[in-house]
Amino acid sequence: MRLFDTHCHFEDLGTIGEIVSRAREAGVERILAVGGSANLNATALAAMREHGCLAALGYDRDQVDAERPPIDVEGLSAWGEIGLDYHYSPETRERQCSLFSEELEKARKLDLPVVIHTREADDDTLSILRSIPSRGIIHSYTGTPRFARELLDLGFYISFSGIVTFRAADNVRESAAYVPLDRILIETDSPFLAPVPMRGRRNEPAFIRHTCSFLAELRGIGADAFAELAFANAEAALGIAQS
């Protein structure tokens, strides 16, 4: 089985090597290291340059008031994560929208796919994505099938994290059963959201097989077949050559 973790944050430079080598042992052939802040951008860049990961860099919605040093774009596979979250910080809505638009414009100029976080911000997400044509991934999806339909119609791939394995996440399972098999992705969102049966531990890419098996069963196909189709979808979403 070969697996593709489409969303991983590395917290510190010193542990990237060991995390990546445990992932390789677990069959995770590719990891998209994702930034979003100056610190996460630095670890994602190191993961790309020194540990064979792919990288997405950008500035996320929680960085509206932070320092946002310019990004070295060489070698990037995507731009992100970027997006909107009104669950944690509804008071910064306007500034989140303008940062999100700016980041989408940068990705468009660079012709890179984007990695988008969206929570309790369906309407603004859709209206901004309709005004700035973009392609890429909606990550750790927790929205409704109806919102997913709109995002699919805009051409996005939809990625599910370990949340789909959580007992209370029936709504997420409903969406995971809905997304077409040629547009679905899997991710860890490490170090957060470890899937059952690892829940409560610090998450890492090696744990993605649990989410893979869970989704395969939900969709009624074998885990190997599901891993393979999710792998091919991730390559297509990032516009990298099929391997």
- The residues that touch Zn ion, with contacts defined as CB under 5 A, are 189
CB nearer Zn ion, residue 124 or residue 189:
189
- Burial call 125-143: b when 16+ CB within 10 Å, e when fewer: bbebbeebebbbbbbbbbb
CB nearer Zn ion, residue 9 or residue 216:
9
CB of residue 188 to Zn ion, shortest distance in Å: 9
Q: Which tokens in the block code for residue 137?
A: 């991934």
CB nearer Zn ion, residue 206 or residue 216:
206
Between 170-178 and 145-153, two packed helices, what is the crossing angle to 10 degrees?
30
CB nearer Zn ion, residue 6 or residue 175:
6
Q: Give the separation between CA 80 and CA 57, rounded to whole angstroms.
A: 5
Which residues lie across from 232 on neighbouring strands?
Answer: none
CB of residue 221 to Zn ion, shortest distance in Å: 27
**Within a 13 Å sphere around the CA of 25, how many CA atoms are in the beta-carbon half?**
8
CB nearer Zn ion, residue 5 or residue 189:
189
CB of residue 220 to Zn ion, shortest distance in Å: 29
CB of residue 9 to Zn ion, shortest distance in Å: 6
Q: Which residues contact 48 (CB under 8 A, 6 or more apart)?
A: 33, 54, 55, 75, 76
Give the residue among 236, 146, 220 at the shortest CA–CA distance from 184.
236
CB of residue 192 to Zn ion, shortest distance in Å: 7
